[in-house]
Structure 1
């Protein structure tokens, strides 16, 4: 059965890369915008088949807990009337989608063969060569050329990030492979996105610093490096940080009509946190796509319904960031969200100590990627976020297997907590 699972997963991975990442926006422009939902459904179907074929019907406890949390918030949202039933259901599916991708892939225990990795590397090279002339044409001629192929400049950046991560995962993690990773990632600079500049700087510093002499521990040297890396990341993105959160926001000296939607979403998330203690305002109530389609009453209550991009007739910017969305889940949701990422980061650091350098560094890169990306985009709930969560599930599955081999499954049971 595992051989069938491995082959099916690889086919699904390639399908998602092609239609859910590289050509998603072209398909979306034709009027079909459900590729990522189809991919998530196929992932869950493969997971269901794997579970039903196991003798014990083993179900990951972490996955059960996450499903339980989302079901609780679904019922809670219905009880407080955070939005219409349709809006709550839509947001429930959108918000749980990345976690389904992660836990399903993690639970499948799938492995990629060397031949499959070679195919993925070739696809990465092919798609990189496809993106370079698009980026060059945009740089030379302008005229929204990137938008014609990717819908928005930011999607070229995230596509380059995904391709770079796939290449590094399928490589031998040599110095040459790390250099190729940086080069592929650098193709995303054609997008002009400051987040990509910051992530490129952080990635390069991590790959250089975390070498053979590096030890994964909290000491003065590592703390200094972390501070320097964060400072370098903030420096290359300083113009957008100032634009989004200082001069472009409240107190920037601009008229009310010019206030940026993103800053408004951050600003008003604070009173929402304080008014809806401890579980938040509920699904489809704030900062999400569903809260714009089924226009949330909170935007009227807080006077946001007149801000450009947040109006009922034009809610295009309502899902323009992610951290403010956590107001829907309150302080409990914030604690659960960050606990998830901190736990993955801690597992990656433990794996690094037993020699799983490539896998652990990639997990940390993904954690930092979402940390940066969530400041000004809801990528984690989008199609490209789905693919990265699939890759994250594959990496954590590799780490689980490697940790069991290196330490024994019973020697450090806390290291296998996700698999209990």
Structure 2
């Protein structure tokens, strides 16, 4: 009973304080460490359950991060404060995932109903915020994209706590549809591909001509849905190089960093992240990026995720995609054990969500990304009753 209650409170307060009211709290009282605190609580919970005996996956993850921490301090590209700040930010989603997965956080039917109703109430409350327009969204949530990702999280959490019926699937899509009020192209792309996934994927993806055609159609539909914003940032901006926006500029220079700092990169806190902006990284001077009107003034440096992988070198890039390959293996194993195609689709959509977000945002290392990693882990252990504490 104690652990079931603890599971409920972790999910509930992560949702409320770590997602819904996170930006409101950070604006009003300038406290932005809620997600780090929750990640620490999750890890402490994991150590309590396992009696401080870490499993291979989380141990290997921590060892890799510790290697990069030592490497970064030795490389000394940026100040030590930047290195430590970025270390905690980058490790957070992985700790949240592995802790949630290995604990096997699950909810009783009673608590699932409770969380499910909370999701509905919050969604209804957010509808007028979206209807009143962008200014209202910004005043409450800081940025329209946070409104969109919050509704995306609510949809996933709702279906996690529900029977996988047609009615509940429709409600999930309605919750996501509220996020369209943010007018963000990312949510348009995600919404389009989620509909495509539910209608056209009826078994695990395999290498075949049919799969390739299906994926190409899905990609084309998604690109059409987000074409305006994509062309604005990544095509027109590159063509007019002197007016290139920060995001494509960060992508462009990430390749130079990968090659110049082969094979482990420039280290924590050195490129395209919050720490490299807070403690302005010498990298930006080295590559004359400080002359850029946005990057030179510290604007939009951490507004995307994929470029920051260059600070971990080619090895780090490979490790990142290896992580997602291992996640996909877990999803497949779950499917082969349960034959639950619904769970498979949802997990695939969470991966797609991260890859869309990581292209033009740093959600993966933010509070919302941590919550989504917890939800992914909970889907992977869903109905694994051996892990439920009674």
Counterpart for residue 353 of structure 2: 369
Provide the rounded CA distance (Å) in 2 between the counterparts of 1:260 and 1:147.
22
Counterpart for residue 382 of structure 2: 398
2:283 counterpart (298, 303, 315)? 298
- TM-fit CA distance, 1:9: 1.9
Counterpart for residue 173 of structure 2: 182
* TM-score, normalised relative to structure 2: 0.95
Structure 1 gaps, min length 5 = 406-420
Q: Is the deviation greater in 28-37 or in 283-292?
A: 28-37
Counterpart for residue 410 of structure 1: none
- TM-fit CA distance, 1:37: 1.5
1:216–1:349: 8 Å Cα contact kept in structure 2? no
Count of aligned positions: 385
- TM-fit CA distance, 1:320: 0.8
Residue 230 (str. 1) matches residue 226 (str. 2): no
Counterpart for residue 414 of structure 1: none
**Matched position secondary structure for 2:291:** coil
Provide the rounded CA distance (Å) in 1 between the counterparts of 2:170 and 2:274.
38
2:311 counterpart (325, 328, 346)? 328
Provide the rounded CA distance (Å) in 2 between the counterparts of 1:365 and 1:77.
34
Listed as ranges, the matches of 1:123-142 within 5 Å are 123-138=118-133
Residue 62 (str. 1) matches residue 57 (str. 2): yes
Listed as ranges, the matches of 1:93-108 within 5 Å are 93-108=88-103
Provide the rounded CA distance (Å) in 2 between the counterparts of 1:35 and 1:309.
28
**Matched position secondary structure for 1:321:** coil
**Matched position secondary structure for 2:194:** helix
- TM-fit CA distance, 1:328: 0.5
- TM-fit CA distance, 1:216: 4.8
Listed as ranges, the matches of 1:112-127 within 5 Å are 112-127=107-122
Deviations 1:278-324 (A, max 9, x none): 1011111100100011111010011111223312xx31311010000
Provide the rounded CA distance (Å) in 1 between the counterparts of 2:281 and 2:180.
36
Residue 242 (str. 1) matches residue 237 (str. 2): no
- TM-fit CA distance, 1:357: 2.5
- TM-fit CA distance, 1:222: 2.7
Counterpart for residue 4 of structure 2: 6
- TM-fit CA distance, 1:392: 1.5
Provide the rounded CA distance (Å) in 1 between the counterparts of 2:261 and 2:91.
21
Listed as ranges, the matches of 1:140-219 within 5 Å are 144-211=135-202, 214=203, 216-219=205-208
1:178–1:207: 8 Å Cα contact kept in structure 2? no
Provide the rounded CA distance (Å) in 2 between the counterparts of 1:150 and 1:396.
30
Residue 71 (str. 1) matches residue 66 (str. 2): yes
**Matched position secondary structure for 2:147:** helix
1:88–1:290: 8 Å Cα contact kept in structure 2? yes
Deviations 1:145-166 (A, max 9, x none): 1101110000011001000101
Counterpart for residue 271 of structure 2: 286
Change (3 A) 1:298 1:216: closer
Q: Which one has a larger percent helix, Structure 1 or Structure 2?
A: 2
**Matched position secondary structure for 2:111:** helix
1:315 counterpart (298, 314, 324)? 298
Counterpart for residue 412 of structure 1: none
Provide the rounded CA distance (Å) in 2 between the counterparts of 1:13 and 1:237.
32
Counterpart for residue 260 of structure 1: 245
- TM-fit CA distance, 1:244: 1.1
Bigger relative contact order (CA 8 A; separation at least 6):
2
- TM-fit CA distance, 1:104: 0.7
Provide the rounded CA distance (Å) in 2 between the counterparts of 1:335 and 1:233.
26
1:82–1:88: 8 Å Cα contact kept in structure 2? no
CA RMSD of aligned residues (A): 1.7
Deviations 1:102-140 (A, max 9, x none): 0111111232111111111101110110111111111xx
